[in-house]
Chains A and B, each alone.
Chain A
């Protein structure tokens, strides 16, 4: 009963809420003036300390620090109530403890109880940014990764054996064998240890006289040796790949690179193999340059007195030339290759290529194998291969692929064999999923050949067949624009299908145009869509958007959302934006700021979005214009920046986001250069300051700080259930990319 009354009262209160109204006064205050503050003795002592520190003179700085400490504790029973003590000490430390000694001083400073949270975070970050500490952290990560690999390999099979322990010895053995393979394949100097080596070297370079530098020499030498081994192995791997790809000169080059890092038996083998392959290629080339038929017993093709006939054959004007046996093939070859588009010519060339007695056989073979000149042939050959690959995939699944070329690939294949066999039994699933499979690499190669064939070939039945395949391929991969282009090139294509394709292409083009970030390019793209597809829905929509974009005001768009303004009263208050308090009092009847907040739109102008009169907060806002004075804008920008700096120190989720255009706009605003915005489209500043609650909601999801997680795993295949702990390896640092390869 009581609950019912409460609900009724709540509904009644909501129903009786006054309708929204616009604010009665200006949304932003004028330029507030603040009375000058008369500095006291502490201010002067702080100023003296700042000046003394800037001279870089330790004696002056120590004396100034002493004077400051005496002044700041006067009259407060030896307690510094200003909160400046820690900062004063930090300032003096910069001069009194230069270089690496500063680290110990900072550590001592952090023991003070009066260090405020933002300063503490800043100093801790400074302390953490040290090559030696970074090297230690990377080594710790590396060791943890090593341990986690073994631990996870053991814990997973053990955890899965809860419901069925019969296969535990097998699965445990398999997991450990996998670890052994991983270890064998690992670089002599893995990524994290490489990072440690780079940090050590930097430390030694920065602080050659530090006591720790001498201790590092031996470790640096060991790691450097391992680094050379890593480079040697990688170069050798590249040499092997090049050799397998039939590029012996590249293989030789990589082998030489490996040799520069470390001379080894493998390098010598790789060099010998490359040299042998190069010699073989040379011999083949030399042979190809000789003018002889495969049938060596045949008469030499040209003899004295046939000069005129040869010249005639080159000109192909005299039918007599074809009667000379040695020249007949040449004449025939010339005739067939003149009309390369005709399929009969390719048939004749195929016949010529298989004629062992002809001197032109190798030239015909070269033409047939050339994917540019014989695009149709290349398409058909790739299609045959692709059909074979698809059939193998459907029938055999994971069993279709053999062992990898990596070290111990065969052993790995054997270990995986049971799961591969299990995977192979899922043939019905593969069969059902076949039509929805993503385009394969083979199909993409076919598409390249098909496009080339359609560019050069006549529009015969064969060309139509290729076009039909390509159209289907483009449709399957969602490229409606490409499919439309092909359909339009076909004269007898069904009109209704063509219209449907046109609509799809327009939607695709509109999607691309909408996703474009730059205003000018977006406008151009939208106009192109509207012009190219005038009769489609997307074309009309593109036209509407293009018009809207043209009417929109250009320039910056830096938004302070309502949530951000609520969470940062320093920015909202009189020393910042000076927003009318009524706009944030949660009462709609005296005007309320909309969630879209306040937007800087260039110059000194602001748009203040408020809840529209008679509407609720979910409706479109009403926009009020405001203009700030130069001083007001400069102060607001300064407040905004300093607030975001401080927030980034106090909350790791509120990290600073780099935005060069915003920063340039802020700089200009601070300096009072706000009369004319930079009109270049690339200079338009776009940025949203959003509140933390708007970004993350009421409860933020946090990544566990524990390096271990519990995994629950079930398998429908063998109806087992398992639970096991897993060590989570540390993430790679963002600079890992500078160490790879």
Chain B
């Protein structure tokens, strides 16, 4: 057979390309649309299950939502849209498990545990992992919902100063429980979830002392120490800039309160103390303001300018930058 001439080949190739270009996009058989939807949602979720959400913000999917929240909402949609196709229950285990994976990332540990147990019942393949995860979620729920130390009921009409040692003990106990869970979680994705809880507990502890700083001796120093502890322990966290901002805000508040308590023109004003507060706050604000690409950067820049304007309103003979 005679080979086509070069021009003919070009024409043939062009026709083939045109045919491909004009061909409609392949469509999923409507019969398998429910299965396709489940696979799509699980594929996206599974890609993000190992994500280190302690160090990096949770991913967003094409709907621009938090990927775990989006997974949960889309699974809910799926159950309503394809109710008749899913009634046989062949996907129930997988859907329950996927919901649990999403819920635990949204801190709904109790609901996650329920969904895991349902998945364990329905899907033998997932049973072992679902039961392990359910037990872990129970522990995390207990840790996350432990009563706030300040919420301890006191007898009516009696105001007692909270005990620093008792609060520290309570926080340490909770932290130890979480550290134990972290050790048990090994190399699973749950270690990220637990590290987030540990960070949250450290923040709760810092806020506790920040709220009490007017009531306990050296409350300001204790609060600053606690916030510094959070900032140092969680330098790798996605919230690291926010922890620094909180610390800088505390220094700024302390500086303002210092000026209110000791007017610069008065005899009790100590330029050294004031300078320490201003420099600490300003330096930390500058650190955050240097983090390009983060929203905290804008906050830090504006707050720094406001704080410096305040500090420069103090007479030069009392404060020099």
Contacts and interface: CB of A to CB of B under 8 A. Distances in A.
A50 B298 contact: no
A145 interface: no
Contact of B308 (A250, A656, A739): A250
A88 interface: yes
For the complex, would chain B's binding face be called helix, strand, loop or mixed by DSSP majority?
helix
A635 B42 contact: no
Contacts of A667: 73
Interface in B118-140: 123, 125-126, 129
Nearest to A649: B62
B93 A116 contact: no
Interface string A48-70: 11111111100010000000000
A50 B321 contact: no
Contact of A115 (B26, B38, B39, B321): B26
A556 B95 CA distance: 31
Interface in B65-80: 73-74, 76-78, 80
A575 B286 CA distance: 57
28 contacts: A35-B84, A36-B84, A37-B34, A38-B88, A43-B88, A47-B35, A47-B38, A51-B97, A53-B43, A54-B46, A54-B97, A56-B129, A82-B29, A82-B31, A82-B35, A84-B35, A84-B36, A87-B39, A91-B39, A116-B27, A121-B62, A231-B290, A250-B312, A260-B286, A282-B316, A637-B80, A638-B76, A638-B80
A53 B90 CA distance: 15
B117 interface: no
Contacts of A60: 125
Given A642-B77, A738-B294, A55 B125 contact: yes
Interface of B: 25-29, 31-32, 34-40, 42-44, 46-47, 49-50, 55-56, 62-64, 73-74, 76-78, 80-81, 83-85, 87-88, 90-91, 93-94, 97-98, 101, 123, 125-126, 129, 286, 290, 292-295, 297-298, 301, 308, 312, 316, 320-321
Interface string A495-518: 000000000000000000000000
Interface residues of A, number: 89
B47 A83 contact: no
Given A36-B87, A199-B293, A641-B73, 10 more contacts: A35-B84, A36-B85, A37-B34, A39-B85, A39-B88, A49-B39, A90-B43, A278-B316, A670-B76, A738-B297
A117 B25 contact: yes
A174 to B, nearest CB: 35
B43 A87 contact: yes
B293 A195 contact: yes
A581 to B, nearest CB: 20
A197 interface: yes
Nearest to B282: A253
Nearest to A202: B293
Contacts of A49: 39
B128 to A, nearest CB: 8
A658 B60 CA distance: 14
A94 B43 contact: yes
A-B residue pairs, 4 tightest by C-beta: A83-B28, A638-B77, A94-B46, A198-B293
A249 interface: yes
Contact of B94 (A47, A94, A253, A257): A47
Contact of B39 (A34, A84, A658): A84
Nearest to B35: A46
Nearest to B56: A206
B62 A125 contact: yes
A270 to B, nearest CB: 13
A523 interface: no
B42 A253 contact: no
Contact of A645 (B28, B62, B88, B297): B62
B87 A249 contact: no
A439 interface: no
A253 B308 contact: yes
A54 B298 contact: no
Contacts of A215: none
Contacts of A47: 35, 38, 90-91, 93-94
